[in-house]
Structure 1
Amino acid sequence: MIKHLDLGDTNFARSRKLKQLIDAGEIKFGGYMKSKIYGLLKCPAGKRMKMGNRIFFISEEEALQAGYRPCSRCMKEAYLK
């Protein structure tokens, strides 16, 4: 689990580090800390959240173990289960 704000001191540094982690396969899902929802990085709902509320996961298992539930918008099948 990686909090967005922990990726660097500036927005530029955070963006660079985030891209590196995504390219390396170390981040595959994003989550919203306030409501404990996780989803795909390309989800339109996830892109609107503030950096301070954003968290990243390497796998669905990691998100589920942290108590997060799937997004109803981008992960419809997992959400319905």
Structure 2
Amino acid sequence: MIQHTQISDRELQGLIKNQKVRFGGNSKLKIYGTLHCKSGKRMKKENRVFFESEQEAIELGYRPCGSCMRQKYLKWKKSL
């Protein structure tokens, strides 16, 4: 997991380009989603984290976003 406040925007662009970052998340709410999610783009930089894989986010206790990952979110919600 990479915190947005600990890297520059230029470094982040490189990580995305090289597919070292594929998902974003909110560290306070413990939610992860795609990099194109409108909800994710609105969050504060200090709460934003990045993951290389969906599995990494899940292992760290994050749940799928209800907006950009609707089907996975519904499956997660049913499992509660």
User: Where do 5+ consecutive residues of structure 2 fail to align?
Assistant: 76-80
Q: Paired residue for 1:68? A: 62
Equivalent AA in structure 2 for residue 30 of structure 1: G
- Deviation, structure 1 residue 15: 1.1
Which TM-score applies when normalising by structure 1?
Answer: 0.91
Identity of aligned residues (%): 53
- Out of 28, 36, 40, the residue aligned to residue 34 of structure 2 is 40
Equivalent AA in structure 1 for residue 5 of structure 2: L
Q: Show structure 1 runs of 4+ deviating over 6 A.
A: none
1:18 aligns with 2:31: no
Structure-1 separation of matches of 2:44 and 2:73: 23
| Superposed CA RMSD | 0.4
Structure-2 separation of matches of 1:17 and 1:51: 15
Task: Report the secondary structure of 2:40's partner residue.
Answer: helix
Structure-1 separation of matches of 2:50 and 2:29: 14
Paired residue total: 75
